[in-house]
Structure 1
Amino acid sequence: WMNKPDKWKQKGDDIKVTVPEETDFWRGTLHGFTKDDAPFYWMFADNDFETRLTIKGKFKYLYDQAGLMLRIDAENWVKLGICHYRDQLYVSCCFTRGKSDWSTHRLPITKIDKFHVWAKRKGEVIDCYYSLDNENWIHIRQGYFSDKPRIRVGMMCAAPESAGFKVTFSDFMIKN
């Protein structure tokens, strides 16, 4: 763990987390603040790989979020997942290379049971996908990341504007 939460448990392939309040991963853009204090459960991945994750949560307040994170250090990371924004659910993708950027796409539904994300790394490029049914994948972003051969990959969750929420991660995999 990086920023291990006080409340979490693992049962089989499921990891359940109570997301700590006012936590986030963000660097500088627009609002000028930097946060690097949200939970991140990770393992190493080398060279080219793909990673998938299923997310189930009670996303209720502004910026409640959970998803995949690919990370080198505090200034170089990618997060891909689901985010509650403007009373809607959005696919959210953020590439940080010194400063954070943010891409969103509003989902066509207001409630969701499970949300699936998939990231593929080839060289220094990351391709990002999401699915509502774990079968039909929608490509939402491609971006430059890094050619560093070994990075940390795993599950992240944050509650920047709320008192926290509960999320369950399942079906996490990394494949070279």
Structure 2
Amino acid sequence: MDAQRAVDWSEAAWLNPPLSAELHGDELLVTSRNRSDFWRTTSYGFVRDNGHALLTDLPAGAAVEVTFLAQFEALYDQAGIMIRVDDRTWIKAGVEMTDGAPHLGAVVTRGQSDWSLTPAPGWNGCKITVRASREKDAVTIRARREDEAWQMVRLAPLAPDATASAGPFFCSPQREGLQVQFTRFALGPADISLHNPQA
């Protein structure tokens, strides 16, 4: 993705501020509140909209990229990117702890949440980058560990005329105190092609 621009942390606004957020140079160290989560209805029967997300505008034709480090320990510890229209229309994607191991996945919510996962062995504690690219009527989500090749995570619908925001998110549905070090937050043009994105 060419012509990326670093987003200053102060340019974005918190949806549900975390327990703490501290600047360390250009990096942001955050700590989650107890039982924070984003989820809507499906299977579990509850609605949670108290997770932490630091959001800025994501117009059509743009992409957002977030890089982070975290040590996931408890069930459902998670961090990555959120794209949000409103409390019934949003996407979160990144790394989540489930079944005792880190997984790469996404939750796409359009009234109800839809969750997809794939195992990501060896991703815990590593530098992870998640990219969400908004083009036409879709969001393409990719992720990678360190400088490895991008992996496709999800292609999800998003109305071209929707007013959306995006940025880093994290949650800890089963505890308080997940710490995530966000090292990068950037915006740029959307990927030209669905496949083989430019690094």
**TM-score of the superposition, structure 1-length normalised?**
0.94
Offset of residue 147 of structure 1: 1.9
How far residue 112 of structure 1 moved from its aligned partner, in angstroms, is: 3.2
- Hey, what does 1:54 align to over in structure 2? 67
Counterpart Cα distance in 2 of 1:129 and 1:80:
9
Query: Residue 89 of structure 2 aligns with which residue?
Result: 76
Q: CA deviation at 1:110?
A: 6.1
Aligned length: 176
Match of 1:37 among 50, 54, 79: 50
Structure 1 gaps of 5+ residues are none
Q: Which residue of 2 aligns with 1:12?
A: 25
Structure 1 Cα separation of the partners of residues 83 and 183 of structure 2: 17
Q: 1:1-176 counterparts in 2 under 5 A?
A: 1-109=14-122, 111-176=124-189
Which secondary structure does the structure 2 equivalent of 1:128 belong to? Answer: strand
SS of 1:47's equivalent in the other structure is coil
> Separation in 1 of the partners of 2:123 and 2:92?
22
Could you list the structure 1 runs, at least 4 aligned residues long, displaced by more than 4 angstroms after superposition: none
Point out the more displaced range, 94-103 or 134-143: 134-143
Displacement, 1:29? Answer: 0.5
The 8 Å contact of residues 71 and 125 in structure 2, kept in 1 or not, is answered as no
Structure 2: gaps (5+ residues): 1-13, 190-199
Seq. identity, %: 28
Q: Which moved more, 1:29-38 or 1:48-57?
A: 48-57
Relative to the length of structure 2, the TM-score reads: 0.84
Q: Tell me, in whole angstroms, the C-alpha distance in 1 between the residues paired with 2:123 and 2:161.
A: 38
Matches of 1:110 and 1:119, distance apart in 2: 19
